[in-house]
Amino acid sequence: MNLKSAIHRSMALVILLSALTAGCGDHHMADAGDPANLPRIAVVKVQRKSLASTLEISSEFLPFQEIDVYAKVSGYIQKLYVDWGTHVRQGQLLAVLEIPELQQQLLQDEAAVRRADQDVSRAREEQSRAESAYNVAHVTYKRLADVQKSRPELVAQQEIDVAQGKDLEASAGVSSSKDALAASEQALLASKAALEKDKAIFAYARMTAPFDGVVTQIYAYTGALLPAGTSSAKDQSALCRLSQNDLLRLVIPVPERAVADIRDGEQVEVEVSALKKTFSGKIARFSDQIDPTTRTMHTEVTVPNANYELVPGMYAGVKIPLHAVSNVLTVPVQAIQSTGTGQGTVLIVNSTNHLEKREVKVGLMTATDAEVLSGLGEGDTIVFGEQNQFKEGQLVAPQLVAAPGME
């Protein structure tokens, strides 16, 4: 009985050890394939979307136009109607100048016009007298000539000659009076022209705004002498500086690579960090020529500023749309390892959760996404982020993440 018991105990121990060994082996194999022990990897899906590349450049707001307002004629400021920050409309009075010598010149011009007008009246009267004298002399000569033809014995030849001489003399007097009248009329026109010229110059004593704008600087005040701004001398003093601020412009140096995508009239976004607001602008004009020193093209964006919320001198960031594609395969730029211009590689997670390296051809790239022209299909799962820490063929545990810019 003791022997049998010992045998049974030995057999039971062998069976127990075998069972334990088998259990440990099964547990080890289960650990090797447990997803909890596999390296976790962030992945994203290849999907279709629309992309657009933009050019972002910072620039400074400038007035649409800005000038120094000069006096046309020299004079003292009699009345000043504007000051720093005054908003004016086109044609609004800025200042009135006092020009005594020009006022006296106007009086002389008016007197000259009156005198010339009187000369014309006298010349007309003289012409009427000369024409009357001619008519009498001519009729007398004709009558005597007719009598001589019918009754030669009644009229002496001497009387005929005297009458003919007076007729010719009167005719010459008519021509002379006509010339005198024409000269008087020309003198009247010259006097009137001189008067109108001086009136036009005197009108510049009223200095007006050439366009709607804001007075950003005042250079002279009441009583100051403003010289005539008719020369390019730098010592000439202006009245004020006028800026058109209801429409501002941004000068953008567009790089050569983006010149082909610039379109006149295209709407752009203008972000002003100082106001924490975004405004709408428009590409208004460009030079259509590349500067050889900077390899950029002068481009101007206009921004409406009807409420004067924007101030010249503020900095703004301009986003100019360059190129756009719609409904194309896209991946995050962090998922592509570049191997050259328009070329790259990605790590794709296959159906068995093993990594495969795939070469791709890249098209349009934005700050967050890249267009895939070939190498991937819609819905493929690819590694998001650094690829160097993983190996091709490695078994991984993929975890889908939302990449920046992906819907």
Q: Can you give the residue ranges of every domain in the chain?
A: 40-51+326-400, 71-98+206-238, 101-203, 245-324
Contact in structure between 66 and 244 (CB atoms under 8 Å): yes
Give the tens place of pLDDT for each residue, 322-339: 888 889 999 998 889 888
Q: What are the structure tokens assigned to 44, written together?
A: 């994203």
- What are the structure tokens assigned to 57, written together? 């450049």
Strands 40-45 and 397-400: parallel
* Residues in Cβ contact with 407 at an 8 Å cutoff, skipping those fewer than 6 apart: 47, 49
What are the angstrom distances between the C-alpha of 239 and each of 21, 85, 146, 199, 309? 105, 14, 82, 22, 26
Which tokens sit at 406? Answer: 């992906």
pLDDT at position 405? 56
Domain spanning 71-98+206-238, CATH class: mainly beta
Q: What is the pLDDT of residues 48-73, one digit of tens each?
A: 988 888 888 999 999 999 999 999 88
pLDDT for res 389: 83
Bridge partner residues of 250 (DSSP): 61, 301
CA 35 to chain CA centroid, nearest Å? 62
Are the C-beta atoms of residues 42 and 332 closer than 8 Å to each other?
no
pLDDT number for residue 233: 52
Cα separations (Å) of 160 from 130, 137, 142? Answer: 21, 11, 9
pTM of the model: 0.61
**Exposure string over 385-407, b if 16+ CB within 10 A, otherwise e:** bebeebeeebebebeeeebeebe
- What pLDDT does residue 52 have? 81
pLDDT in tens, the chain (407 residues): 443 444 344 444 334 334 433 444 443 333 445 556 788 888 999 999 888 888 889 999 999 999 999 998 899 999 999 999 999 999 999 999 999 888 899 999 999 999 999 999 999 999 999 889 889 888 888 888 888 788 877 777 888 888 888 889 888 988 998 999 999 999 999 999 999 999 998 999 999 999 999 999 999 999 999 988 775 555 568 999 999 999 999 999 999 888 888 888 999 999 999 999 999 999 999 998 999 999 999 999 999 999 999 999 999 999 888 888 889 999 998 889 888 888 999 999 998 999 999 899 998 888 788 899 999 999 999 999 888 888 888 888 888 887 665 54
Neighbours of 363 (CB within 10 A): 16
Interacting residues of 46 by C-beta distance below 8 A, sequence separation 6+ = 329, 330, 331, 372, 376, 377, 378, 379, 380, 381, 382
CATH number of this structure's domain 245-324? 2.40.30.170
Tokens standing for 91? 């044609």
Burial 214-227 (b: 16+ CB within 10 A, else e): bbbebebeeeeebb
Same fold, 71-98+206-238 and 245-324: no
Q: Does domain 40-51+326-400 have CATH number 2.40.110.10?
A: no
Cα Rg, the chain, nearest whole Å: 50
